[in-house]
C-alpha cells in the first residue's frame, strides 16, 4: 500500500487497525459501533440516528449495488466515518448511479477499507463502543498523537444531538388517497420511510422541528402524535420529554419508535442507560410479551430504557408496562401505557431495507387513533 492510500482507525483504548483510504481522506472522530446488517448500507449511512458515529459493517463486502438516488433516508449521509473490509470494485445494479466510494467522496465522509472487521467487531463487543477516529492523507500523524486526539473527543454519553438533525421548518407529507388522520410528528431524526408508511395508511403527517411546543402540536388538531428515531443520549432530551408529558396529559394517541421509545420511557418516569455496544442491524429478535410472538427487527440504538420483560409499573399517567424485549439480552424493546393511549417500540417498523415483521405497528397506531375518535 502506498503512503498516499494509507489509513488507520484508532480507538480510545489505544488499539489501531490499519487499512487503505476509502471515500474522502482526512480525519474524522466519533463513537465506533458495528452494524450486523447484510444489506441496506445506503439506508444506514443516511439514517440521522448514526450522527457522530463511525459505523463498522460486519458484512464482509460492501458497495456491490452502488449508490442510487431513491433509497436515502434523509437529505445527506450522517455517519462520522465508515469502516469496511472488502469494498466492491465495480457496482452492479440497474438503479446504481455511482459507486459508494464516489458518494463518500462527494459528501466528504472519511472511510477506511481492508480492515479485519471481524476482529474489530469482537473487540467492540468485549470492550464496548468507544471513541475512535479514522485518519488518512493529511490527517495521518504519529500514533500516540492520534490516540490523544481521539481521547479528547466528546463522548456519546451526555451528547445532545437531536437538535443537529431535526428539520429547520415544518413540512407535510400528504396522505396517499383519502385522508383519514392527521399526525404531528416530532422530528428527532426522522427517516424518510416513516411518513411514507403513514401516508400509505391515509395519514397526513406534519413533521415538526424538535423545538416545537405543545401549542404547535395542538394547533394542528391532530388525531395522533408521533415521536421519531434520532441520535444522542435521551437523558439530554428534556424538551422532548416535557412535550411528551403534555401529550399524555391530554390523552392524545401517541406512538414512538427508537429514540421516541426512550423519550416516552422518561416521560413515564423510567430511567435510561448507555448499553455496552448497542443493537444495530436488521436481524435482531424481539418478543411481544402479550402474544409471545417473535419479530425480526431493524434496530439502531446505543441507549435503552430501564426495566425487565413484562414489568408493570405506575406513572403519573397511570399504569404502564414493558411490552417487548430482546431475548438476546432482555433489553427493553417496547412500552405501553395502560390508562392513556400511548405505546412505543425501540426498533424500526418503517425498516428499509427491511425486515418488515414490525410494519403492522403502524396499523396499531391507526387503530389507536380510530378508537380515540370513535371511528371503528
Q: Which residues are catalytically annotated?
A: 258, 348, 350
* Nearest-angstrom CA–CA distance, 359 and 291: 16
SS in 3 state form for 91-127? CCCCCCCECHHHHHHHCCCEEEECCCHHHHHHHHHHH
According to DSSP, the β-strands at 181-186 and 224-227 are: parallel
Q: Which residues contact 140 (CB under 8 A, 6 or more apart)?
A: 6, 7, 8
| C-alpha dihedral, 260 to 262 to 263 to 269, nearest 10° | 150
Percent helix, strand and coil across the chain, each to the nearest 5: 25, 35, 40
Residue pair 263/188 in contact (Cβ under 8 Å)? The answer is yes
Kindly tell me the burial class for residue 158, based on how many C-beta atoms sit within 10 Å of its own C-beta (0-12, 13-18, 19 or more): exposed
Is residue 166 classed as helix, strand or coil in its secondary structure? coil
Contact 317, 273 (CB under 8 A): no
Residue in this structure with the C-alpha cell 458515529, named with its chain if needed: 53
Strand partners for 16: 10
The set of cell numbers assigned to 190 is 426522522
Instruction: Compute the distance between CA of residue 264 and CA of residue 93 in angstroms, rounded to an integer.
Output: 41
Amino acid at each position: 500500500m502506498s503512503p498516499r492510500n494509507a489509513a488507520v482507525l484508532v480507538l480510545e483504548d489505544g488499539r489501531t487497525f490499519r487499512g487503505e483510504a476509502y471515500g474522502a481522506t482526512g480525519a474524522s472522530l466519533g463513537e465506533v459501533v458495528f452494524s450486523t446488517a447484510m444489506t441496506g448500507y445506503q439506508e444506514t449511512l443516511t439514517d440521522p440516528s448514526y450522527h457522530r458515529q463511525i459505523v463498522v459493517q460486519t458484512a464482509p463486502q460492501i458497495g456491490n449495488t452502488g449508490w442510487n438516488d431513491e433509497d436515502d433516508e434523509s437529505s445527506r449521509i450522517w455517519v462520522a466515518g465508515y469502516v469496511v473490509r472488502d469494498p466492491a470494485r465495480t457496482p452492479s445494479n440497474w438503479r446504481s448511479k455511482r459507486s459508494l466510494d464516489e458518494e463518500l467522496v462527494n459528501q466528504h465522509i472519511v472511510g477506511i477499507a481492508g480492515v479485519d472487521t471481524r476482529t474489530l467487531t469482537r473487540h467492540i463487543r468485549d470492550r464496548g463502543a468507544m471513541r475512535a477516529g479514522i485518519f488518512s492523507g493529511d490527517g495521518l500523524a504519529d500514533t500516540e498523537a492520534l490516540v490523544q486526539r481521539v481521547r479528547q473527543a466528546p463522548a456519546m454519553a451526555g451528547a445532545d444531538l437531536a437538535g443537529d438533525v431535526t428539520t429547520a421548518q415544518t413540512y407535510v407529507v400528504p396522505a396517499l388517497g383519502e385522508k383519514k388522520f392527521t399526525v404531528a410528528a416530532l422530528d428527532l431524526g426522522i427517516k424518510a420511510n416513516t411518513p411514507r408508511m403513514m401516508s400509505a395508511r391515509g395519514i397526513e403527517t406534519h413533521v415538526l422541528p424538535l423545538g416545537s411546543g405543545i401549542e404547535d402540536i395542538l394547533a394542528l388538531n391532530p388525531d395522533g402524535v408521533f415521536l421519531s428515531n434520532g441520535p444522542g443520549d435521551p437523558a439530554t432530551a428534556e424538551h422532548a420529554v416535557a412535550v411528551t408529558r403534555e401529550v399524555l396529559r391530554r390523552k392524545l394517541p401517541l406512538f414512538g419508535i427508537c429514540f421516541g421509545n426512550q423519550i416516552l420511557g422518561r416521560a413515564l418516569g423510567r430511567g435510561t442507560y448507555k448499553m455496552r455496544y448497542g443493537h444495530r442491524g436488521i436481524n435482531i429478535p424481539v418478543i411481544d410479551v402479550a402474544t409471545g410472538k417473535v419479530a425480526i427487527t431493524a434496530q439502531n440504538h446505543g441507549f435503552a430504557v430501564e426495566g425487565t420483560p413484562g414489568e408493570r409499573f405506575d406513572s403519573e399517567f397511570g399504569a404502564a408496562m414493558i411490552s417487548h424485549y430482546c431475548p438476546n439480552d432482555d433489553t427493553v424493546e417496547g412500552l405501553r401505557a395502560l390508562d392513556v393511549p400511548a405505546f412505543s417500540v425501540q426498533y424500526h417498523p418503517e425498516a428499509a431495507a427491511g425486515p418488515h415483521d414490525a410494519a403492522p405497528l403502524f396499523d396499531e397506531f391507526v387503530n389507536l387513533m380510530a378508537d380515540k375518535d370513535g371511528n371503528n
